[in-house]
């Protein structure tokens, strides 16, 4: 048991945030210009994630080719030094597999795949440091890298997780200690809408609380979207000014 | 290790920094980095502040924080109007004083302190949090670690403790400046006083211009300081307790050594059980040894209290002992110890004790058969103290007569009601005043240099032997919550109060629609006379095919007690109703227990029904569960039910149903006995026994009627059926009850006594074998012998316990006493919390409503079970203690009554006699029996020979029948009125 209060009666969390505050969020795009078509780096608190996108390219094998759409392959690498205690996770780890499948499904729906028939888009994600919310950080970095690669998408996918403390209090954007102690939901939304592109529930949440949690998660994800949008515009302006000079 | 960590400013008044520390676990070191946010919106919670109300933010429920600190706090000459900032050591030491309603209002608890307290003692943390919640005490937690104004980083080479002390001082400084700057100018000056018992920290505070004082000095300077000084715990950095002489207990091993030892198997951990006959002997059961380890002598017991979690080290085989055969009481051994140590501290080991230990050592070495020698150990560490509040009274001879009227503080001893615990030394000014009163004390510490633990006075309950003081004492001693229900709890009851009615419209909400209407069934209840909380009612009806439809209807308590309400929390906390001889302490408010839930006759009530189809041999063909509405036709007492059944002229359907129930119950009972259910006491005594736990319940002897067991059999059947159903639905979290088979070692001594004295034996192969062998143990000369043996066998059994099903494998669910594979408690939800949980789980299992999270979470269920097991046990002890007190009072009026008794234990210097008529047992010491010097103790034959008062030689042994005179005497040591027995 931790010697701290997970959520104090005064309304503060382990790390000093309030229930609806995000971890400090920073992101960069176009971080690996030479080795990829599009790349990004996302940091949410101490969770640090990097993403590289290559494609659309000729598929390596016929199996990956689809006559009408592009096929998206996501690889997720979790560095063995990324958690608090060093641990090697094989790529076949069930949880990693699950996350890759979710990401592939989500982005196959958001990328306008019919524009790139018979091609493959390869997304490589690297988790460098973990402090909760890996899936949402990865999803955010994939969005940024795809945009950087100039691949057509319907809209952003922005993602965040939200937990339920003591079966009554919703908590936004959990760190790893909080994730260990409560049931939580990771969700991704499309653009600034309330449409869910992705949802994953860990453990169990009473049905009557779900709506509240979704509402809070959606507004959190919208804030993330704004932050990513701001960074992209800054990057765009920089590109234009360098091109002009 | 320390690094300069950059702070990064985020938007909206938030700064983030990193906390880095090194955690060692399993020998390896891990560097842990976590985020730490600093904010500018943490309010000071003072009503006098003009700034903070502007900056506060709402929580998840859109509630704004409450500014609790008063704008005109308490005034003291030295400090002016002031708030108090507490240091960690004050909270840990003096939580009782902090809870006092006459002092310590308007207190600031820095987060640093709160976290340190939580780290050191979770129970104290819980109490501190409760203080912060209460409106009267006005405690505010200030999150100094998260405020950018008060956060301090650790400096190079600074220890954690020094850093925390600095953080607390910074917090004091901030508050003072903040109040000076932002205080509403209409309000008088408010100061901040730092109360701390660490001189170094106080000096540093004074250096920084912070007002700081020790607890004693602070309390002394308060206007009502005189009255409060007694509550100040006994541990100052001052000179109040100094022990000069080298006599001391062995020091405990370091934590690392204890952990290492437990891990590599050289040390053992367990809970110590100190003999109630001999305060110098304790036993501890550890899985590695078949027999419990003996711990003998004060030095080896090394300051442990009965029930402490201790770590022991085995002594060399040459020092192993046999269990003592002597009665040793602290009051005889150390009667002359001086409470005021003065120049000659009490030696820890007295000469008398040395003599006792020498005798025990000789006994062990002369023991021919080494079978009785048990592994012996010494205590080398205590991992968890069982300290709580204790009830006792001041030892008269520890207070000098001539000083009783003076008001000077002095040390005196408090003798506790629980004889297996040592005297507590307290320091008080009111010793004279408190003599002859039942008082509550708390234990503070037991330094290795002190022969006695040190504590402080908490409160007085009233004069010794007054009913009110004694009742409160025994409730406190057994941690029974007896305060009236709070307003919040009572607010959860239906607003209509006693006028609440079952709705007449049955197509109301979805829940009413799901109920079955059983009002046409001929239901009746059978209970003891005068019963007002009717939990259960029954009906039986013959079906066209000759089978029987039998229904057990249980009060639908969960219709009123919803999860996550204050009412539910209170019920879960109390766990059970407690029945004293003259008083009942309810688990749920009376309105529910005796009216709305009670299945009273002639009115509609909600019920939870179990309906079986039984064939004529009482085999179950079909079981169904329904939430229902019933209308009981009649509430019978056992006698009236019996009369009605026996009266052949009664031929109505209700009576016929009752006859059928009786008939079926006899068959059910036979089935149960055939399966090996235990019948632990013969009918005569059985009236005072709960057949499941075999605990005595009542003093009076009642005639046992067939109707008693009628009700009992169907309740058992209902419990078993429900247990199966909820286990089916919730395999991990079903609330169940198990009763483990007793280990053979428990019966060793009893079997040996039987073999030697009666040439009989008890078999432990199975519960069936045990039941049969108990039936065979009959002494034609002594018809009571079999009952006596059953009573003694009961004491060798394990205690039944509640558990969530995921905690054991199915095979271990077994209820040994009832010979049932699975069991739970379902039939008394008014007075047991287990039943409430079982009701909710069953309701969910049949799809009536969804199950609350706390009942389908394994960890939460384990906590619930742990609590109700403890409450259940305490309730039994409290009930027994109440009977003991009651019998003592009855005896006071009819002395010199001669009664039959049986010897159940023989010591080398006394015997223990059980008097069946009153269910009491008493110790008769050798001095009272006759000439102590002539006595010869034969431990192989469990007998004692001596010359009685007339000089005639006499030999008595275990199981023997004796006549005793019962006198009621006030035990001079504990001031408990007890029945004293004298052999005639
Ligand atoms: Zn303020």
**Residue B925 is inside which H or E element, if any?**
strand B920-925
Task: Say if residue B16 is in the same domain as residue B151.
Answer: no
Chain B residue closest to A174 (CA)? B35
Distance from the A11 Cα atom to the nearest Cα atom in chain B, whole angstroms:
6
For residues B861-874, b (16+ Cβ closer than 10 Å) or e, as one string?
beebbebbbebbbb
Identify the top-confidence range among A140-154, B141-155, B963-977. Answer: A140-154
Ligand 1 mean position, distance from CA B183 (Å): 8
Helix, strand, coil shares of chain A as percentages rounded to 5?
A: 35, 30, 35
Interface contact flag, B36 A15, Cβ < 8 Å? yes
pLDDT-wise least confident of A85-89, B126-130, B942-946, B971-975: B971-975
Torsion of CA B878, B883, B886, B888, to 10 degrees: -110
> Residue B319 and residue B314: Cα distance in Å, rounded?
10
Q: Which residues in B133-201 belong to E strands, given as ranges?
A: 139-142, 191-195
pLDDT at B724 > cutoff 90: yes
Task: Say if residue B901 is in the same domain as residue B869.
Answer: no
Interface contact flag, A5 B118, Cβ < 8 Å? yes
Task: Say if residue B143 is in the same domain as residue B219.
Answer: yes
Per-residue confidence (pLDDT) for residue B240, from 0 to 100: 34
Length of chain B: 984
Which of B623, B953, B63, B869 lies closest to A11, judged by CA? B63
Per-residue confidence (pLDDT) for residue B686, from 0 to 100: 32
Interface test with A, best of B11, B33, B34, B857 (most A CBs within 10 A): B34
Boundary of a domain, candidates B231, B265, B285: B231
CB-nearest to B10 from A5, A14, A24 is: A24
Distance from the A162 Cα atom to the nearest Cα atom in chain B, whole angstroms:
13
- Report residue A74 as tokens: 């996501």
Rg (CA), chain B: 32
Strand A120-129's sheet: what is its strand order? A25-29, A38-44, A47-57, A120-129, A71-78
Per-residue confidence (pLDDT) for residue B392, from 0 to 100: 87
Task: Say if residue B21 is in the same domain as residue B71.
Answer: no
Give the mean pLDDT of B727-750.
88
- Please indicate if any CB of chain A lies within 8 Å of the CB of B121: no
pLDDT at B901 > cutoff 90: no
- Report residue B400 CA to chain centroid gap: 36
Residues of chain B found within 8 Å of residue A20, distances taken between Cβ atoms:
60
Which residues, including other chains, have CB under 8 Å from residue B552's CB and lie 6 or more apart?
B536, B537, B538, B609, B610, B714, B715, B717, B718, B827
Distance from the B46 Cα atom to the nearest Cα atom in chain A, whole angstroms:
14
Ligand 1 mean position, distance from CA B215 (Å): 26
For residues B159-180, b (16+ Cβ closer than 10 Å) or e, as one string?
eeeeebbbbbbbbbbbbbebbe
Interface contact flag, A167 B119, Cβ < 8 Å? no
Chain A residue closest to B859 (CA)? A181
> Is residue B290 assigned to a domain?
no
> What CATH code is carried by the domain that includes residue A18?
3.30.230.70
- Pairs of residues, one from chain A and one from chain B, whose beta carbons lie less than 8 Å apart: 73
- Residue B945 three-state SS: strand
Binned at pLDDT 50, 70 and 90, residue B832 comes out as: very high
Show the domain range for A238: 3-244
Residues of chain B found within 8 Å of residue A206, distances taken between Cβ atoms:
850, 853
> Is residue B849 assigned to a domain?
yes
CB-nearest to B57 from A9, A18, A46 is: A18
Q: Are B722 and B828 in contact (CB under 8 A)?
A: no
The pLDDT tens digits for B855-872 are 988 888 999 999 999 999
Q: Are B635 and B625 in contact (CB under 8 A)?
A: no
Interface contact flag, B35 A85, Cβ < 8 Å? no
Interface contact flag, A46 B16, Cβ < 8 Å? no
Q: How many domains does chain A have?
A: 1
Binned at pLDDT 50, 70 and 90, residue B174 comes out as: very high
Residues of chain A found within 8 Å of residue B38, distances taken between Cβ atoms:
16
pLDDT at B530 > cutoff 90: no
Residues of chain A found within 8 Å of residue B59, distances taken between Cβ atoms:
11, 18-19, 169
Q: Tell me the Ramachandran region of residue B138: left when phi exceeds 0, alpha when psi lies from -120 to 50, beta otherwise.
A: left
> Residue B955 and residue B945: Cα distance in Å, rounded?
4
Interface contact flag, A18 B35, Cβ < 8 Å? no
Which residues, including other chains, have CB under 8 Å from residue A40's CB and lie 6 or more apart?
A27, A28, A29, A30, A31, A50, A51, A141, A142, A144, A145, A148
Distance from the B26 Cα atom to the nearest Cα atom in chain A, whole angstroms:
12
- Report residue B191 as tokens: 């100061």
- Please indicate if any CB of chain A lies within 8 Å of the CB of B562: no
Q: Which residues in B671-819 belong to E strands, given as ranges?
A: 735-738, 801-804
Boundary of a domain, candidates B207, B231, B255: B231
pLDDT at B932 > cutoff 80: no
Interface contact flag, A18 B10, Cβ < 8 Å? no
Matching residue, tokens 């049905």: A207
Residues of chain A found within 8 Å of residue B33, distances taken between Cβ atoms:
46
Task: Say if residue B107 is in the same domain as residue B201.
Answer: yes
Pairing of the two strands A38-44 and A47-57: antiparallel
CB-nearest to B115 from A3, A11, A168 is: A3
Task: Say if residue B162 is in the same domain as residue B24.
Answer: no
> Residue B428 and residue B432: Cα distance in Å, rounded?
9
- Please indicate if any CB of chain A lies within 8 Å of the CB of B37: yes
Residues of chain A found within 8 Å of residue B564, distances taken between Cβ atoms:
167-168
pLDDT at B1 > cutoff 60: no
Chain A residue closest to B30 (CA)? A85
> Residue B107 and residue B608: Cα distance in Å, rounded?
49
Task: Say if residue B839 is in the same domain as residue B917.
Answer: no
Which of A62, A53, A73, A153 lies closest to A120, judged by CA? A73
Task: Say if residue B79 is in the same domain as residue B201.
Answer: yes
Ligand 1 mean position, distance from CA B220 (Å): 29
Task: Give me the residues of chain A with pLDDT under 50, please.
Answer: 1-2
Chain B residue closest to A209 (CA)? B853
Rg (CA), chain A: 18
Chain B residue closest to A164 (CA)? B60
Q: Are B533 and B554 in contact (CB under 8 A)?
A: no
Matching residue, tokens 């949402």: A136
Interface test with A, best of B109, B123, B146 (most A CBs within 10 A): B146
Ligand 1 mean position, distance from CA A172 (Å): 28
Pairing of the two strands B281-284 and B267-274: antiparallel
Interface contact flag, A16 B39, Cβ < 8 Å? yes
Please give all residues whose CB falls under 5 A of ion ligand 1, grouped by chain where several chains appear. Answer: B 44, 49, 52
> Is residue B617 assigned to a domain?
yes
What distances in angstroms separate CA B942 from CA B704, B777, B904, one per listed residue? 35, 19, 10
Ligand 1 mean position, distance from CA B138 (Å): 16
Interface contact flag, A18 B59, Cβ < 8 Å? yes
> What CATH code is carried by the domain that includes residue B898?
2.40.50.140
Residue B550 backbone dihedrals phi, psi, to 5 degrees: -120, 135
Matching residue, tokens 């049955």: B506
pLDDT at B735 > cutoff 60: yes
Show the domain range for B957: 894-983
- Report residue B971 as tokens: 């035990």
- Report residue B489 as tokens: 């709890």
Which residues, including other chains, have CB under 8 Å from residue B134's CB and lie 6 or more apart?
none
Q: Are B967 and B891 in contact (CB under 8 A)?
A: yes
Which residues, including other chains, have CB under 8 Å from residue B20's CB and lie 6 or more apart?
B1, B3, B5, B31, B32, B33
Ligand 1 mean position, distance from CA A38 (Å): 50
Chain B residue closest to A44 (CA)? B35
Residues of chain A found within 8 Å of residue B57, distances taken between Cβ atoms:
11, 18
> Is residue B108 assigned to a domain?
yes
> Is residue B14 assigned to a domain?
yes
CB-nearest to B143 from A12, A46, A167 is: A12
Q: Are B795 and B688 in contact (CB under 8 A)?
A: no
Q: Helix B160-182 crosses helix B199-207 at what angle (to 10 degrees)?
A: 40
Give the mean pLDDT of B470-497.
85
Task: Say if residue B497 is in the same domain as residue B600.
Answer: yes
Interface contact flag, A20 B60, Cβ < 8 Å? yes
The pLDDT tens digits for B585-616 are 899 998 998 889 999 999 999 999 999 999 99
- Please indicate if any CB of chain A lies within 8 Å of the CB of B16: yes
- Please indicate if any CB of chain A lies within 8 Å of the CB of B64: no
- Residue B202 three-state SS: helix
Per-residue confidence (pLDDT) for residue B623, from 0 to 100: 94
> Residue A24 and residue A29: Cα distance in Å, rounded?
17
Pairing of the two strands B801-804 and B735-738: antiparallel
Binned at pLDDT 50, 70 and 90, residue B112 comes out as: very high
> Is residue B779 assigned to a domain?
no
Q: Which long-range contacts (CB under 8 A, 24 or more apart) does B48-51 make?
A: B48/B179, B48/B183, B48/B184, B48/B187, B48/B190, B49/B178, B49/B179, B49/B182, B49/B183, B49/B184, B50/B182, B50/B183, B50/B184, B51/B178, B51/B182
The mean pLDDT value of chain B amounts to 82
Residues of chain A found within 8 Å of residue B34, distances taken between Cβ atoms:
14-15, 46, 131, 175, 177
Chain A residue closest to B141 (CA)? A10
Residue B798 CB-half CA count within 13 A? 17
- Report residue B916 CA to chain centroid gap: 28
> Residue A192 and residue A200: Cα distance in Å, rounded?
20
Q: Are B942 and B978 in contact (CB under 8 A)?
A: no
- Please indicate if any CB of chain A lies within 8 Å of the CB of B892: no
The pLDDT tens digits for B65-75 are 889 999 889 89
- Please indicate if any CB of chain A lies within 8 Å of the CB of B160: no
Ligand 1 mean position, distance from CA B117 (Å): 25
pLDDT at B405 > cutoff 80: no
pLDDT at B4 > cutoff 50: no
Strand B267-274's sheet: what is its strand order? B293-296, B281-284, B267-274, B309-314, B377-384
Compare B362 and B477 and report the one with higher pLDDT. Answer: B477
Interface contact flag, A12 B118, Cβ < 8 Å? no
pLDDT at B812 > cutoff 50: yes
Which of B926, B682, B673 lies closest to B792, judged by CA? B682
- Please indicate if any CB of chain A lies within 8 Å of the CB of B858: no
Compare A85 and B960 and report the one with higher pLDDT. Answer: B960
Task: Say if residue B26 is in the same domain as residue B67.
Answer: no
Task: Say if residue B932 is in the same domain as residue B914.
Answer: yes
Q: How many domains does chain B have?
A: 4
> What CATH code is carried by the domain that includes residue B119?
3.40.50.1010
pLDDT-wise least confident of B299-308, B498-507, B746-755, B974-983: B974-983
- Report residue B692 CA to chain centroid gap: 21
The pLDDT tens digits for B367-384 are 554 566 788 888 998 888
Task: Say if residue B863 is in the same domain as residue B968.
Answer: no
């Amino acid at each position: 048991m931790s010697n701290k209060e997970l959520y104090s009666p005064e309304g503060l969390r382990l790390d000093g945030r309030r229930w609806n505050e995000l971890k400090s969020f920073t992101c960069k795009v176009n971080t690996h210009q030479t080795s990829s078509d599009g790349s990004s780096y996302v940091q949410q608190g101490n969770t640090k994630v990097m993403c590289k996108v290559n494609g659309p390219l000729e598929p390596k094998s016929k199996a990956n080719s689809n006559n009408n759409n592009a096929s998206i392959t996501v690889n997720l690498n979790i560095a063995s030094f990324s958690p608090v205690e060093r641990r090697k996770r094989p790529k076949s780890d069930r949880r990693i597999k699950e996350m890759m499948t979710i990401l592939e499904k989500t982005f196959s729906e958001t990328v306008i795949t019919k524009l790139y028939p018979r091609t493959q888009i390869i997304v490589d994600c690297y988790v460098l440091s973990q402090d909760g919310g890996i899936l949402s950080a990865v999803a955010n970095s994939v969005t940024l890298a795809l945009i950087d690669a100039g691949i057509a998408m319907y809209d952003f996918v922005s993602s965040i997780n939200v937990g339920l403390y003591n079966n009554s209090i919703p908590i936004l954007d959990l760190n790893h200690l909080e994730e260990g102690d409560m049931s939580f939901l990771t969700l991704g939304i499309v653009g600034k809408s309330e449409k869910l592109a992705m949802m994953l529930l860990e453990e169990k949440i009473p049905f009557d609380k779900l709506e509240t949690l979704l509402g809070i998660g959606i507004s959190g994800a919208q804030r993330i979207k704004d932050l990513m949008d701001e960074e992209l515009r800054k990057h765009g302006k920089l590109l234009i000014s360098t091109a002009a000079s | 290790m320390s690094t300069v960590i950059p702070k990064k400013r985020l938007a909206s008044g938030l700064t983030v920094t990193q906390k880095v520390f090194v955690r060692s676990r399993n020998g390896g070191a891990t560097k842990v980095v976590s985020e730490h946010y600093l904010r500018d919106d943490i309010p000071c919670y003072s009503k006098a502040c003009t700034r903070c109300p502007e900056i506060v933010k709402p929580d998840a429920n859109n509630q704004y924080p409450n500014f609790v600190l008063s704008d005109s706090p308490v005034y003291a000459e030295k400090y002016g109007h002031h708030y108090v900032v507490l240091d960690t050591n004050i909270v840990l030491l003096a939580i009782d004083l902090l809870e006092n309603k006459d002092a310590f209002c308007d207190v600031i608890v820095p987060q640093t302190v709160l976290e340190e307290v939580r780290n050191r003692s979770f129970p104290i943390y819980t109490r501190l949090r409760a203080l912060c919640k209460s409106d009267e005490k006005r405690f505010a937690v200030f999150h100094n670690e998260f405020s950018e104004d008060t956060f301090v980083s650790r400096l190079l080479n600074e220890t954690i403790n020094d850093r925390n002390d600095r953080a607390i001082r910074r917090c004091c400084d901030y508050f003072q400046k903040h109040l000076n700057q932002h205080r509403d100018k209409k309000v008088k000056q408010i100061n901040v006083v730092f109360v701390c018992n660490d001189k170094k920290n106080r000096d540093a505070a004074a250096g920084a211009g912070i007002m700081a004082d020790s607890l004693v000095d602070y309390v002394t300077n308060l206007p009502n300081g005189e009255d409060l000084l007694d509550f100040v715990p006994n541990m100052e950095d001052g000179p109040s307790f100094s022990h000069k002489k080298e006599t001391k207990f062995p020091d405990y091993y370091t934590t690392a050594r204890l952990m290492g030892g437990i891990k590599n198997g050289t040390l053992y951990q367990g809970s110590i059980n100190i003999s109630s006959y001999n305060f110098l002997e304790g036993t501890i059961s550890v899985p590695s040894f078949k027999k419990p380890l003996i711990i003998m002598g004060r030095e080896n017991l090394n300051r442990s209290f009965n029930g402490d979690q201790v770590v022991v080290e085995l002594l060399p085989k040459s020092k192993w002992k046999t269990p003592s055969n002597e009665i040793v009481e602290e009051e005889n051994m150390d009667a002359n110890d001086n409470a005021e140590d003065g120049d000659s501290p009490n030696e820890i080991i007295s000469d008398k004790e040395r003599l006792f230990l020498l005798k025990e050592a000789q006994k062990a070495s002369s023991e021919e058969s080494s079978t009785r020698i048990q592994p012996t150990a010494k205590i080398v560490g205590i991992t968890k103290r069982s300290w709580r509040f204790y009830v006792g009274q001041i030892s008269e001879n520890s207070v000098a007569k001539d000083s009783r009227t003076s008001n000077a503080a002095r040390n005196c001893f408090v003798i506790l009601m629980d004889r297996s615990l040592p005297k507590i030394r307290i320091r008080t000014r009111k010793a004279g005043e408190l003599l002859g009163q039942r008082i509550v004390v708390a234990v503070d510490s037991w330094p290795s240099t002190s022969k006695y633990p040190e504590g402080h006075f908490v409160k007085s309950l009233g004069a010794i032997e007054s009913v009110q003081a004694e009742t409160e004492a025994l409730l406190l001693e057994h941690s029974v919550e007896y305060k009236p229900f709070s307003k919040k709890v009572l607010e959860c009851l239906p607003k209509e109060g006693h006028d609440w009615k079952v709705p007449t419209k049955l197509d109301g909400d979805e829940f009413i629609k799901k109920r079955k209407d059983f009002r046409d069934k001929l239901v009746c209840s059978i209970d003891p006379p005068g019963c007002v909380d009717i939990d259960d009612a029954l009906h039986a009806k013959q079906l066209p095919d000759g089978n029987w439809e039998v229904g057990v209807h249980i009060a639908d308590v969960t219709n009123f007690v919803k999860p996550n309400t204050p009412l539910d929390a209170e019920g879960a906390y109390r766990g059970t109703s407690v029945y004293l001889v003259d008083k009942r302490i309810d688990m749920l408010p009376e309105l529910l227990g005796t009216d709305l839930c009670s299945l009273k006759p002639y009115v509609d009530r909600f019920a939870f029904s179990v309906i079986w189809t039984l064939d004529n041999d009482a085999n179950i063909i079909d079981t169904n569960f329904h939430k229902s509405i019933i209308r009981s036709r009649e509430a019978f007492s056992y006698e009236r039910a019996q009369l009605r059944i026996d009266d052949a002229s009664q031929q109505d359907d209700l009576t016929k149903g009752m006859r059928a129930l009786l008939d079926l119950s006899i068959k059910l009972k036979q089935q149960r006995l055939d399966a090996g259910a235990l019948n632990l006491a013969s009918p005569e005594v059985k009236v005072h026994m709960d057949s499941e736990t075999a605990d005595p319940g009542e003093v009076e002897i009642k005639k046992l009627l067939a109707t008693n067991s009628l009700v009992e059999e169907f309740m058992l059947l209902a419990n078993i059926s429900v247990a199966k159903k909820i286990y089916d639905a919730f395999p991990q979290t079903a609330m169940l009850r198990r009763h483990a088979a007793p280990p053979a070692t428990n019966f060793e001594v009893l079997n040996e006594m039987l073999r030697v004295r009666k040439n009989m034996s008890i078999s432990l192969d199975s519960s069936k074998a045990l039941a049969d062998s108990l039936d065979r143990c009959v002494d034609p000369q002594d018809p009571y012998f079999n009952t006596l043996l059953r009573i003694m066998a009961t004491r060798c059994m394990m205690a039944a316990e509640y558990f969530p099903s995921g905690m054991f494998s199915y095979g271990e669910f077994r209820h040994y006493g009832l010979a049932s594979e699975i069991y739970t408690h379902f039939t008394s939800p008014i007075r047991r919390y287990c039943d409430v949980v079982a009701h909710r789980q069953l309701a969910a299992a049949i799809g009536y409503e969804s199950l609350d999270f706390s009942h389908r979470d394994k960890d939460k269920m384990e906590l619930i079970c742990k609590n109700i097991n403890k409450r259940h046990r305490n309730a039994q002890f409290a009930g027994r203690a109440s009977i003991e007190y009651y019998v003592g009072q009855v005896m006071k009026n009819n002395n010199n009554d001669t009664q039959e008794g049986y010897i159940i234990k023989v010591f080398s210097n006394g015997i223990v006699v059980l008097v069946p008529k009153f269910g009491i047992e008493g110790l008769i010491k050798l001095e009272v029996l006759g000439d102590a010097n002539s006595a010869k103790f034969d431990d192989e034959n469990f007998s004692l020979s001596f010359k009685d008062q007339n000089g005639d030689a006499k030999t008595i042994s275990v199981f023997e029948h004796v006549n005793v005179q019962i006198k009621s005497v006030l035990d001079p040591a504990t001031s408990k009125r007890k029945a004293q027995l004298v052999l005639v």
